[in-house]
Every structure is written in structure tokens, then in C-alpha cells.
Structure 1
């Protein structure tokens, strides 16, 4: 166990989380202790059987928002808490950009940034296209206001 997955980014509070795309080559190095995956039944059927670590899925259609906002928020907060305890954690959707960047932005709000600062942080530290849609950006704001 450790907080050092290859490719992990360091959130403003020092916690490390790896964001990646399930449709991209799998990273070298150790498997995560826990993964949070964003997508529908098709993505889960294609990738879930490859994972031998603890994981959770949020039903989250590409370019859209989670289908259950409260459940998604609980799972994102849990991911942050696991990382804070030193678990190696990752978050991933198919491409690793929009939904993954949205969750990384939400994690950055848990680190103390405002929603706008968090989106800018994800774009600077993960992918310049993070948080791909206006509604994903608004959802980061909703997430930050729930604290």
C-alpha cells in the first residue's frame, strides 16, 4: 500500500490520485488499492473483469453527468478519504479527460479550492480539456457547495 501510483497527480492538499483512461494502455507499475470508475454498463462489462482490486462504479454517461448525484458525491468523498489514508487510488472513465477531469476537480474542491480554481487546477495538472462541458463545470460548482 502506498500513495505512489505511476502518473498520480498531487492535489493542493498533498493527497495523490491517479486519473487515467480505461481506453488507453494500462499503466505500468503496481495496481491501485482502490479505483473509482465512471461509465455505463458497456464500459463496466469491457473492463471490470480485468481489475483484481477493490473498486466502485458511478453510472456516468460520456459527456454528461452522473445519474445519481448524491451517490456520486459520496463515492468521490470516499475516494478522497482513502487517498488521505495513504491508499493508492485512481479514477478513470473511457478517455480519461472529461469525466475523470470533473472528478479530479471535485477532489480539488475537497482540498480547499473554489470550483473555478479546481477546474483551472485540473486543466493545468491533468489535461487541458478536463471538464469538457458547461454542465460538467456547473456540476463541480454543485459538488463544492455541498460541503
Structure 2
């Protein structure tokens, strides 16, 4: 049986994010000791009606392929990163807490940890769960979206040109 995650803590940069699976026994028992997250980023429609985050966000992403709502997902990842920087707690969740959740945790690592997508992928499998980002489509998406997540420096003007 694969690992299940109930607010598994994962460090991205200097921040802690929670990875959660819908099918976690601890979640099913409602773990009364757990404080809800400020922001919840839910990547599976089965979470509707199941969340306890103070502000839940849903991104339609029904399979372990590339996300259907890519631009919305990128925006939500950047918003989650900004929320973490402002002291919020953030939970990322899908059904099993591995594929989609692992992919978003890697994306947050790219944004906040200043790492590459390749390094983020190696680290998440070592430190969070070896099942994370478990399909070729998810890996391809992670490597492809990296350029959208990392702010680029402005291009220098050609020699002799001014604004």
C-alpha cells in the first residue's frame, strides 16, 4: 500500500507546506488536534465538501496527466507562495497526496526554494514521498512549467540603446 499523507510537513525554502491525501485515515478521523490551514489548494474534485481550510481553492485536474486548468494552477501556486511568505499556513491536497500534490510541492520549491525542477523532483522523492510526481506527464509538466514559475530578469538593452 502506498503511503498516505495527513498534513505531511514539507519545507520549501524557509517555509512549511502540508501535503494531504483525501484517503488518509487520520483525515477521515477528523484529527481533532489539527488546526485548519489558512489556504488550501485542492487538486481533486472529490475534496468539495471535505475541506477545512479557511480559504479553499480548487483547480480542476482530474488525472495524473498535465493539468486541465494550467494557467489557473500557475496563478494559484504563485498565490500560495505569496501567502507562505506572508505567514499563512498552506495545505496542498489531491486524492492520494502523491502525483498532483507532489507536483505542486515541487513547483513551490522552485518558486520559494530557488531550486530547479530537476532538483525539486529529486528532493521531494527523497524527503516527502518516493511516489511523488509519479507519472511521465506530471514530470513533463513540472519541467515545462519551471520557466513560468521563476521570475526572469529583464533583458538588457542592446549596446547604445536607452529607454
TM bucket (normalised to shorter chain) is 0.7 to 0.9
Instruction: Summarize the Cα distance change of 1:53–1:133 in structure 2 as closer, same or farther, 3 Å threshold.
Output: same
TM-score, normalised on structure 1?
0.86
Deviations 1:41-83 (A, max 9, x none): xx144524xx261110010113222111111100011111111
Deviations 1:107-139 (A, max 9, x none): 111121111101111111211010011110111
Aligned to 1:125: 127
State which structure, 1 or 2, has the greater radius of gyration over its C-alpha atoms: 2
In the alignment, structure 1 segments of 5+ residues that lack a partner are: 1-5
In the alignment, structure 2 segments of 5+ residues that lack a partner are: 1-6, 151-163
- CA RMSD across the alignment: 1.8
Aligned to 1:33: 38
Q: How many residues align?
A: 138
C-alpha displacement at 1:9, in angstroms?
A: 1.4
Aligned to 2:155: none
